[in-house]
Chain A
């Protein structure tokens, strides 16, 4: 168990180096077309003295590996530069916003687990029934839908139209003041929608695959009831890939929320990055990407570790990957 955790930690190191190196190369001078100093100062013209000062500060005249060393050291010390518009350190800005993003992600994950897994199981157990067709069709539609469009449809329908018809309507923007749970409903459902559809599809195909295995037939043959076999034998094994997906998805929600948060003006990390794009505030954009990527890697690591609890084969170190 400890060996497995340690090995996962070690495997993360090259990925971490690769990810940071890629982000570093994106704004290193001379690697891609585009002026790295523009990325720091914004669009306005700057005096040569300031240009030299920035080149000094960011070590743009050193060899690339040395620059990368400085970059990594800044990163480890939590220094992502300052916002052009707000003059605040990028790290502080995102520290303020992250709790909101996490709140939204947790709501979405709960919806995904209950509806996605539930629909997948029903769909597989009652294959080719009305419910199966319904789930298959609606998941195909959901995965083809732009998230931000779905959010806007919700806003028109449950916000604007319900209000016009004199029905109880839902808030469509912001967190409320003071923040309340009602404001979480529409953005939460929107953020959960696509993932719920994927979770249902994966759950369905996994259940179908597991149900065709020999040991399921054996369990039925020895006289266990259908529902016992589904619950005790099939479900557990079918769940592992779904957990994998959800872990990756939780990571993605910490970032993919950029679209949902933009539509619902939800004051999280994604909205902050979106606003920074509009203001050409590149340190916030790039800093936000770095913060999110590191958060995603961390969540993925936690998910990998959770397998050790779910799957005894991993715990005892035989079936490794």
Chain B
């Protein structure tokens, strides 16, 4: 992601002219200091480095980034320490279950235990695997479908454009959660089907973004040049047009990941998502509903996990949008 858009080959990451002077944009003051003192310190101006510099100044976005990184590292390393310290997130220990169910938070069980005596902290940690993987994979499915549909509509135009955009209208006319419910009613509940359903429903927005960026650059001369050199349609679309659309797709993808996590939680809460005993935040909340008064910790922590994770993605998305200066309808 460090490539500049006006440098599709990526050869010019550290631009210098023939005599070894660092190439600066025209508005910077001319270097007066001797070359060897100067060339490391001056920041190279590429779109991504500029964006990163702006993003780094955005405290909220950085807090989101740090939180997501923390959640990912806890989740990835969970097998090494969580079951030993807090117990298995799925299996029920029948020997001790009778004494250990619905314990309030304590040193042994920082988030308490649930009605089957499983440690809520361990379940929250393992629930992050489901949430993050559904969020990320579903968004990748949306982007893949959206890019193909957007390319069909924008590049070929005509009938393909009409059909694809009408289909997008149809998908957008559906209430999101309900459509996922209908799709899963047919496919059957389960982990895989959740991210298929969420992924399949998310494509129209990506398709619209990509279509409009194709339309805005399609008539440019460098596209004609690529075609004259014999580049195939696929190469033109993905090598020469796609880099123009990466910024909005990145912003959208970040926000959509948060949305997908919320949708997974909602579907699991409704019983249409991940099935027991697999720990999922939404499923844990649906277990907690009946025990709200008796064991509020069962609902506080999974909910807080969803909130903080989704909020991190929303803040990162906001930050990226400002840093990359993407115009978006909220």
Chain A interface residues (CB < 8 Å from chain B): 14-15, 18-19, 22-23, 26-27, 32-34, 39, 140-141, 143-149, 152-153, 155-156, 160, 198, 201-202, 205, 241, 251-252, 254-256, 258-259, 262-263, 273-274, 277-278, 282, 285-286, 288-289, 292-293, 296-297, 300
Using known A-B contacts A39-B185, A39-B186, A198-B330, determine if residue A149 contacts B285 with beta carbons closer than 8 Å.
Answer: yes
- Collect the chain B residues with CB atoms within 8 Å of residue A144's CB: 258, 262, 307, 310-311, 313-314
Q: How far apart are A153's CB and chain B's nearest CB, in angstroms? A: 7
Contact B178 A160 (CB under 8 A): no
- Collect the chain A residues with CB atoms within 8 Å of residue B174's CB: 19, 22, 293, 296
Using known A-B contacts A255-B177, A292-B178, determine if residue A148 contacts B311 with beta carbons closer than 8 Å.
Answer: no
A145, closest chain B residue (CB):
B307
Question: Which of B20-28, B80-88, B144-152, B288-296 lies on the face that meets chain A?
Answer: B288-296
Contact A296 B173 (CB under 8 A): yes
Contact A146 B169 (CB under 8 A): no
Contact A27 B186 (CB under 8 A): yes
Contact A26 B289 (CB under 8 A): no
**Separation of A288 and B272 alpha carbons in the complex (Å):** 15
- Collect the chain A residues with CB atoms within 8 Å of residue B265's CB: 146
Contact of B179 with A by CB under 8 A: yes
CB within 8 Å of A: which of B240-289?
258, 262, 265-266, 269-272, 282, 285, 288-289
Q: A152-B288, A258-B181 are in contact. List 12 more A-B contacts (CB 8 A).
A: A32-B187, A144-B313, A146-B285, A146-B307, A147-B266, A148-B266, A152-B285, A156-B293, A160-B292, A252-B175, A255-B178, A286-B185
Contact B173 A256 (CB under 8 A): no
B311, closest chain A residue (CB):
A144
25 residue pairs of the A-B complex, CB under 8 angstroms, read A14-B166, A15-B170, A19-B173, A32-B186, A39-B185, A140-B318, A145-B303, A145-B306, A145-B310, A146-B262, A146-B269, A148-B266, A152-B288, A152-B299, A153-B303, A202-B330, A258-B177, A259-B177, A274-B270, A277-B185, A277-B272, A286-B185, A289-B179, A296-B173, A300-B173
Q: How far apart are B189's CB and chain A's nearest CB, in angstroms? A: 9
Contact A146 B293 (CB under 8 A): no
Among A14, A140, A258, point to the contact of B314 (Cβ < 8 A): A140
**Separation of A160 and B266 alpha carbons in the complex (Å):** 24
Chain B interface residues (CB < 8 Å from chain A): 166-167, 169-170, 173-179, 181-183, 185-188, 258, 262, 265-266, 269-272, 282, 285, 288-289, 292-293, 296, 299, 303, 306-307, 310-311, 313-315, 318, 329-330
Among A18, A145, A202, point to the contact of B169 (Cβ < 8 A): A18
Using known A-B contacts A14-B166, A144-B307, A149-B303, determine if residue A293 contacts B178 with beta carbons closer than 8 Å.
Answer: yes
Q: How far apart are B188's CB and chain A's nearest CB, in angstroms? A: 6
Using known A-B contacts A148-B266, A256-B175, determine if residue A278 contacts B292 with beta carbons closer than 8 Å.
Answer: no
- Collect the chain B residues with CB atoms within 8 Å of residue A148's CB: 266, 269, 285
Contact B166 A256 (CB under 8 A): no
B286, closest chain A residue (CB):
A148
**Separation of A148 and B182 alpha carbons in the complex (Å):** 20
**Separation of A300 and B174 alpha carbons in the complex (Å):** 11
**Separation of A7 and B177 alpha carbons in the complex (Å):** 30
Counting chain B CB atoms within 10 Å of each CB, the highest count among A32, A148, A149, A289 belongs to A149
**Separation of A27 and B182 alpha carbons in the complex (Å):** 9
Contact B175 A26 (CB under 8 A): no
Contact A34 B188 (CB under 8 A): yes
Using known A-B contacts A27-B186, A277-B271, A282-B185, determine if residue A258 contacts B178 with beta carbons closer than 8 Å.
Answer: yes
Using known A-B contacts A26-B186, A258-B178, A296-B175, determine if residue A152 contacts B292 with beta carbons closer than 8 Å.
Answer: yes
Among A15, A32, A146, A155, point to the contact of B166 (Cβ < 8 A): A15
- Collect the chain A residues with CB atoms within 8 Å of residue B311's CB: 140-141, 144
A149, closest chain B residue (CB):
B303
Q: How far apart are B146's CB and chain A's nearest CB, in angstroms? A: 17
Using known A-B contacts A18-B170, A296-B175, determine if residue A259 contacts B307 with beta carbons closer than 8 Å.
Answer: no
**Separation of A256 and B167 alpha carbons in the complex (Å):** 22
The 6 residue pairs across chains A and B that have the minimum distance between CB atoms: A18-B170, A255-B175, A149-B303, A144-B311, A144-B310, A289-B182
Using known A-B contacts A153-B303, A156-B296, determine if residue A205 contacts B330 with beta carbons closer than 8 Å.
Answer: yes
- Collect the chain B residues with CB atoms within 8 Å of residue A293's CB: 173-175, 178
Among B167, B170, B288, B306, point to the contact of A146 (Cβ < 8 A): B306
- Collect the chain B residues with CB atoms within 8 Å of residue A19's CB: 170, 173-174
Q: How far apart are A205's CB and chain B's nearest CB, in angstroms? A: 6
